Chains A and B, each alone.
Chain A
């Protein structure tokens, strides 16, 4: 393993790769600081820049954006009570009260250090545990992969926000779109209408660019872009957090980091869920909080920020070992790798070890960069919130079209992207979450081919699913994932 780490380090430590990491982190911090610009959107829109890079370099740029945006989402959460990315929503609880007391600088420094701790824990977890999981997954056959994809699909229940039915409709739409193309098992053409571009199916990256770029842009424009509303004038001084603050947040950051990795590694559960859970757990475990949680406790910020950044490395665990995305950003990362003919899954750990360790070492370095830039630049980053959105959106919309066309040199994909954008806009207007659609799009083919392959291997008998202990356990977990919230809502209704 040491030799792989050294090989990864040599790959990372060259000027162009370092430049890409710095660029990624800075772009990520910039976009994350602006409410409405999410990590998912930024990664989707800038993906096309990586098509001509080698896969390792491309991943450095995208992971830099990912880590940077998930970190900097906390800055507007602290300053103007609006999370820059959904993952930073839990940071508001204690971040904004501190800012009101005039201690925004202290809150941002805490958030930076906690993000760093969470991020580093997650990358270490990724580096040491993912090879073990990949090794075990080599024994996975079609029934196990079907069960995993089914589990991922049931997570829609948890990512769908307020309304489970709306989440499921969105997820089913994604699954429907995924059926277009040549049937992977019989070669029959489905919904291709004689269009050759559709034979290999709808390009899911084009759909994601549309959903997260165009749809968000249309929503921003239709609700009116307000460049004046959110001025920040609080000055941030100082660079390093105080020793007493560091001592206070050390244990809670570490614990939240570990929890964040575990939550992030559940397919479909991303930084927002991780941060809410780690924040909630911190308030349950820490009884002696002064000031109490919700009134500006630094440990509250640390719990949320360590949790959401820890979910980034955690999300990469199922993504790289099983090819099943941990969250919506890692879904795009799968696409980024597939553009280079690199198929995430257990075989990756046998064939592409250098690439993997480049990713691990690079992601670690990215968190170091986030710590350095986050502490040194805090008084600049707060000004980013004042950037006029009216200047950013046109650029994003142009990048959406460029990204879709560059995907495989075909204008057709731009129309797919625009269509997805229009659909996403309508869905957003009616309060349908878009993340389940992405999960459906990516998991449906995995679920379908493995289900049908299992049945063809077993001669049509469903025994194959419950005679495999691993598949059985995962299927039972999936059932529980759906049943528990349903039972809970029924019982709360009857008691009310």
Chain B
């Protein structure tokens, strides 16, 4: 019921803003998700005043993907910690659609007062290359990356190839079918980048999400899948999958028996990640206050506990570092899309 309490608080604060009666507040509370909508619509109108102080009113964090997913859950954890470290309430809303571009664009076009923040992921470096939306790293003010999700190549447990070497020699003589969790997703890109680095030709097969991609790998429809390493850790440890390697520069604790790709001769570090950002043209002093709050949030016990209990790695990039990383990824994905000849 954590989800509900956050959105209910959105309804509360809104009703009190307008001096609403108890009756009205209850109605808003009962409407739950609906309260979010109303709040989202109002943020723009309320921001007329001066913007030196941050935060001076409720902070809204937009998750561009649906409730229950990684972006949503981590954003709620950040908002919870943010609320305990500031005097205002923090509210997470889900504005989904357009592979995440709808929610991110909403934030990029919001008033730059720092009261509307958003969650983003590698997709923001892909939209322009894939023609999905005219939104890129230059259209946002990066605040902080707080997690990293390295990619792994998985195969079924009893397949003929359980190491990278075996897999590559199989792939030299056979057309390998590589499952991914959606065309143009960061996992599709990671798989393509890996195949390119390894010098093999693969056929990419898209599935609607990671679960069906894994099922197809286990039942033999696809030869392998590119997925988030931590997400499949339990299925690798005691389930039907074997991980060939992890595309990261450190050994993962959750997959102690799976070496990195680097240690197997393929120098690649790729996957997905999550970060928060603000609209462009954010005043420097506001940006400074937000970044300080985020530093406190990142180090807070509640956030640490959440990340640990939910198997999210804590990996941090501050604003400048994140900006550089985004620019570098933007170029990298541009080359990759060109090489892969993905149309969109």
Contacts and interface: CB of A to CB of B under 8 A. Distances in A.
Interface of A: 16, 48-49, 51-55, 138-142, 182-189, 196-197, 199-200, 338-343, 345-348, 351, 402, 405-406, 408-410, 449, 453, 456-457
Contacts of A345: 211-212, 215
Contacts of B74: none
A342 B68 contact: yes
Given A199-B97, A340-B67, A409-B94, 11 more contacts: A52-B33, A141-B220, A186-B343, A189-B132, A341-B67, A341-B68, A402-B31, A408-B95, A408-B97, A449-B206, A456-B205
Contacts, number: 149
A199 B98 contact: yes
B209 interface: yes
A391 B211 CA distance: 45
B68 A51 contact: no
A406 B183 contact: no
B111 interface: no
B262 interface: no
A182 B132 contact: yes
Given A406-B36, A408-B94, A189 B131 contact: yes
25 contacts: A16-B1, A48-B33, A52-B8, A52-B36, A53-B3, A138-B219, A184-B182, A184-B183, A186-B183, A187-B344, A188-B344, A189-B132, A189-B344, A196-B105, A199-B102, A199-B132, A200-B99, A340-B67, A341-B66, A341-B68, A343-B209, A345-B215, A351-B211, A408-B95, A409-B96
Contacts of A449: 206, 208
A141 B212 contact: no
B98 A200 contact: yes
Contacts of B136: none
Nearest to A188: B343
B144 interface: no
A200 B96 contact: yes
A408 B208 contact: no
B67 A141 contact: no
B218 interface: yes
A343 B102 CA distance: 22
Q: Which among A196, A351, A409 has the greatest number of chain B C-beta atoms within 10 A?
A: A409
B219 A139 contact: yes
B102 A197 contact: yes
Nearest to A16: B1
A357 B273 CA distance: 33
A456 B99 CA distance: 24
Contacts of A49: 30-33
Ranked nearest first, the 10 interchain pairs of A and B with the lowest CB-CB distance are A51-B33, A341-B68, A52-B32, A347-B211, A199-B98, A187-B344, A406-B33, A141-B221, A196-B98, A187-B183
Q: Which among B31, B34, B40, B68 has the greatest number of chain A C-beta atoms within 10 A?
A: B34
B33 A141 contact: no
A445 to B, nearest CB: 8
B342 A187 contact: yes
Contacts of A408: 66, 94-97, 102
B52 interface: no
B182 to A, nearest CB: 8
A232 B74 CA distance: 55
A189 B211 CA distance: 24
Contacts of B205: 453, 456-457
B203 interface: yes
Interface in B19-37: 30-34, 36-37
A45 to B, nearest CB: 13
A453 B213 CA distance: 12
B177 interface: yes
B79 interface: no
A436 B37 CA distance: 32
Interface in B121-164: 130-133
A338 B208 CA distance: 12
B66 A339 contact: yes
